[in-house]
Amino acid sequence: MTTMTIAKAINEGLRASLAGNPRTLLMGEDIGPLGGVYRVTDGLIGEFGADRVVDTPLAESGIIGTAIGLALSGYLPVCEIQFDGFVFPGFNQITTQLAKMHSRSNGNLTVPVVIRIPYGGGIGSIEHHSESPEALFAHTAGLRIITPSNPHDAYWMIQQAIDCLDPVIVFEPKRRYWLKGEVDTTSPGQSADPFQAHVLRSGTDATVVAYGPLVPVALAAASAAAEDGHSVEVIDLRSISPIDFDTVTDSVRKTGRLIVAHEAPTFGGIGGEIAARVSERAFHSLEAPVMRVGGFHMPYPVAKVEEDYLPDIDRILEALERALAY
Amino acid sequence: MGATHLPSTEFDGTGVDDQREAQAEAVLGDPAVPMVQLLSPDGTLGTDPVFSEYAARLDAEKLRGFYADMAKIRRFDVEATALQRQGQLALWVPLTGQEAAQIGSGRASQPQDYIFPTYREHGVALTRNVDLAELLRQFRGVSNGGWNPKETNFHLYTLVLAAQTPHAVGYAMGIQRDQKRAAAQAAAAGSAAGTQDPKAAVMVYFGDGASSEGDVHESMVFASSYNAPVVFFCQNNHWAISVPTTVQTRIPLSHRAKGYGFPGIRVDGNDVIAVHAVTEWALERAREGKSPVLIEAFTYRVGAHTTADDPTKYRGSEEEERWRAKDPLERLEKYLRAEGLADDAFFDQVKADGDELAAYVRKTTHDLETPDIRTAFANTYAQAHPLVAEELAWFEEYSAGFADEAEPADTEAAN
C-alpha cells in the first residue's frame, strides 16, 4: 500500500499501461513536457517518448478522430480532453463514429479508445471548465463510462479502461485530483470489475447513490445523518454506463429509500434513470419516492455562486428528510 | 459578394461562361489553375514533365483494365439505380461521371494500403476487390456496413461528412509507428534496418462539399504536424447536393494544401491515366514518408446526388451536356481504338461482362436476408454488457409470447 493523490494514481496507472503494452499511447493537448494542465501525465513523455505521449494540435475532433484511426490500426490510444466543456467539438466523433464502429462493422472492428475528461465544478473556474456532461454520453449505446472517486480506483480503473475492447470515457473528478488515499498497486482487490458499484458504508434507513466528486459529500452526509440517528447506506456507483443496478436495487430492498446525488443538472440526468429503474425493479420495497439531488436547469453558473449550485451535505440531508417523512 | 467565384470548367477553357470567368478573375486574380491532364477529351495522349513517366508504366493490358473497370462500375451504377426505383434499395448514391477519378486512384493503390471511402466510392471498392453485392447491403437496409474491411483494407462507408478524414490520419500514424518499431526491432536484432514488409500508406476520399467540414481541416493539420503517410483524395464533382463548389471555396481546393504545408495537385478527374499517375506519385511519396498530399480530382457528378434529389431544380442541362462531352469512358475508348490497343471484340466482351455483373447484383440483392435483430444486440459492444443482456432477455421473452399466435397461421398456410 502506498498513499497518493488521485492525479498521481492516474499518472501511475498510465505509466503501468504504457510500460506493459508498447501499443498504448497517450494523446492530447499539453500532455507532453507540461504534463497536462493538471499534471496527470507528468514525466511520461520523458520515459516513453513523443511517439507515445503525443502533444497534439489543439483540435478535439482531430484528437478523437485520429485516435479512432490509431485504434483501427491496432493501437490503444488514451485521449485527454483538457476540460469537460471542451469535449463538444469532439462530440460528433465520439457519438457518431467511436460508439458505433463495432456495431456497424458487424463486430469485425473494435476501437478500444479511452477518453479522459476532467469534469465537475468546485474549483472556482470560469465557464466551460466545470461541467458534468456524462448523461449526454451515457445515452449513446456503444460507449462505456466510468468515474473513480478515490486513488485506488483511479489507479486501476484507467488501466482497466485501456484493457477494455470497447471505447471507454473516464470522467475524472477534477476537484478531487488532490484527494489522497491508499493505493494497492499489487492487486485491484474488490475493484477488479470497473463496472461494479461499491457499497462504501452500510445502513438501514436510506441509500445514497453518488459518483465521482460527490462520493465524499455523500459519505459526510451519511456521517451527519448518523448523528441524528439515521442509518444511511452509501453507494459509489463508479460506472455510469453500464450502471450496476443490482447493487443499487439490493440496497434499496434493504433500506426502502433512495437518494441519488450528482453535480449534473437533475433534469434528464443519470439520477432520473436510476430512479426509474429502481421503481420498476423494487417498487414494493420503496417507502418513499426516489429523491434526486443535482444541479439546476441552467448553464453551470459563475464561480462566485457555484456553492449555491453544487449539491452539498445539506442538500443531501434535505432530500433524506423528505424521504424519511413518508 | 456573390457566390459564383470559380468557373466550373476553367481547366480547358471550352464552354466557359465569359461572365463567370470574369467574376472569377476579379475574385481570384488568376483563374488559370494548373491541372494535370494527359488524355484529352478527344482521346489524344499528351505529355507532362512529371507524370508522363508514370503514364509510361501503363501497358495495353492495364489500360484495357481501366476501361473494363470503368464500364463495369457504370453498369453497376445503372443497375443499382434501377433497383432503387424498383423499391429494392432505400437509397442509391450514383457515381456516373466519376469513374476515372475512382478507378484511376483505386488502381494506383497497393494491397497493403488502407483506404477510407466516403459513400460514393463504388469504383474504388471494385479496385479493392470488394464484392459489389456487399456494397448494397447498407442501401438495402440489412447492414450499416456490409463487408469486413480487414479483408480488403477498404473501410466501411461513412455517412457523416468528413468524419473519416481524421480516422485516415490516425491510421497513417499507426502505420508510421509500426514501421518505426519494426525498424528498431530489426536494428536490435542486428539485421538491416527496416522491414521486409512493403511500406504502406492511407488514402482517404471526400467531396468538395465535405471539404467545408471542420474535420477536413483538423485532419490536414494533424497529417502535416506528424507528416503522416496519407493521401487526401478530394473528388470535386462540383455539387454538394444542390450547392455548387463556388459556395464551398473561393480558391481551387488543391490550393488549400499549401496552407498546411504539403503538396496539392489538381488533376483532370475524367482522365483515368492522369488520375492514376498523380495518385501513384502521391502514394509513393506518402509511403516514403516525404509528406501527405492533397489531390483534387476535377470531375463532375453527371446524375443526382442520390436517388432522392432532382438536379433539374438546381442546375442547367447545358452544364451537364458540357461535362458529358468530357466523358471518361469515351475518351479512353477513343485512345484505345486509335492506338489499336482494343477492338470491337474487346468492347463487346466488356459489355457482356457488365450485363453479367448486373444480373448477379440484381439476384444477390433480392436474396439478401434480413438480419435477426439479435445480431444488433450482439454487436453493440465488444465485451459483455449487462444492460444489453437484460434487454435481450426481455426481447426473447416478449418474442416467445407470440410463438403460439404464429403457429396456427403457418398451419393454415401449409394447408
pLDDT tens sequence across B400-413: 999 877 655 554 44
CB contact under 8 A, B222 and A73: no
CB contact under 8 A, B145 and A105: yes
Facing residue for B171 by CB, picked from A25, A73, A112: A73
A108 neighbourhood in chain B, CB within 8 Å: 145, 148-150
- DSSP one-letter string for B115-136: EE--S--HHHHHHTT--HHHHH
Q: Best of A104, A111, A277 to disrupt the B interface by mutation (most B CBs within 10 Å)?
A: A104
pLDDT tens by residue, B238-293: 999 999 999 999 999 999 999 999 999 999 999 999 999 999 999 999 999 999 99
Residue A53: strand, helix, or coil: strand
Q: Which residue of B has its CA nearest to A74?
A: B174
CB contact under 8 A, A93 and B163: yes
| pLDDT value of position B32 | 59
CB contact under 8 A, A56 and B222: yes
Which residue in B275, B246, B234 sits closest to B101, CA to CA?
Answer: B275
A48 in B contact zone (CB under 8 Å): no
Whole-model pTM? 0.93
B221 neighbourhood in chain A, CB within 8 Å: 57, 59, 62
Examine the predicted complex and report whether its ipTM is higher than 0.85.
yes
Whole-number Å distance between alpha carbons of A7 and A39: 8
A242 in B contact zone (CB under 8 Å): yes
- DSSP one-letter string for A290-318: PEEEEE-SSSPPPGGGHHHHS--HHHHHH
A75 in B contact zone (CB under 8 Å): yes
| pLDDT value of position B190 | 81
A21 in B contact zone (CB under 8 Å): no
**Below-50 pLDDT ranges, chain A:** none
B173 in A contact zone (CB under 8 Å): yes
- Distance (Å) from the alpha carbon of A138 to chain B's nearest alpha carbon: 12
CA distances from B126 to A215, B69, B223 (A): 56, 8, 27
| pLDDT value of position B192 | 62
Give the catalytic positions of A in this structure. Answer: 129
**Which residues, other chains included, contact B170 with Cβ-Cβ below 8 Å and sequence gap of 6+?**
A65, A66, A67, A68, A69, A70, A71, A72, A73, A77, B222
A102 in B contact zone (CB under 8 Å): yes
Check: CB of residue B266 under 8 Å from CB of residue B33. yes
Whole-number Å distance between alpha carbons of A208 and A302: 28
| Percent with pLDDT over 70 in chain A | 100
B32 in A contact zone (CB under 8 Å): no
| pLDDT value of position B194 | 52
**Alpha carbon A79 to its chain's center:** 15
pLDDT tens by residue, B158-191: 999 999 999 999 999 999 999 999 999 888 888 7
Whole-number Å distance between alpha carbons of B98 and A255: 68
CB contact under 8 A, A108 and B145: yes
A69 neighbourhood in chain B, CB within 8 Å: 166-174, 202
Q: Best of A25, A27, A56, A105 to disrupt the B interface by mutation (most B CBs within 10 Å)?
A: A105
Q: Best of A23, A106, A246 to disrupt the B interface by mutation (most B CBs within 10 Å)?
A: A106
**Below-70 pLDDT ranges, chain B:** 1-32, 192-196, 406-415
Other beta carbons less than 10 A from residue A198's beta carbon:
17
| pLDDT value of position B7 | 38
CB contact under 8 A, A104 and B144: yes
| pLDDT value of position A25 | 98
Give me the residue label for grid cell 428528510: A321
B215 in A contact zone (CB under 8 Å): yes
Residue B35: strand, helix, or coil: coil
CB contact under 8 A, B174 and A74: yes
By DSSP bridging, strand A239-241 and strand A144-146 are: antiparallel
Facing residue for A103 by CB, picked from B144, B166, B222: B144
A144 in B contact zone (CB under 8 Å): yes
CB contact under 8 A, B221 and A164: no
CA distances from A164 to A144, A169, B19 (A): 9, 11, 60
C-alpha grid cell for residue B382?
A: 465488444
Whole-number Å distance between alpha carbons of B274 and B297: 10
B149 in A contact zone (CB under 8 Å): yes
- Distance (Å) from the alpha carbon of A99 to chain B's nearest alpha carbon: 8
| pLDDT value of position B404 | 77
Q: Best of B116, B181, B218 to disrupt the A interface by mutation (most A CBs within 10 Å)?
A: B218
Backbone dihedral angles phi then psi of residue B153, each to the nearest 5 degrees = 55, 35
Whole-number Å distance between alpha carbons of B262 and B251: 16
CB contact under 8 A, B160 and A104: no
Whole-number Å distance between alpha carbons of B149 and B130: 9
CB contact under 8 A, B386 and A73: no
CB contact under 8 A, B376 and A103: yes
Residue A77: strand, helix, or coil: strand
Which residue in B248, B257, B157, B255 sits closest to B208, CA to CA?
Answer: B248
A189 in B contact zone (CB under 8 Å): no
Q: Which residue of B has its CA nearest to A110?
A: B382
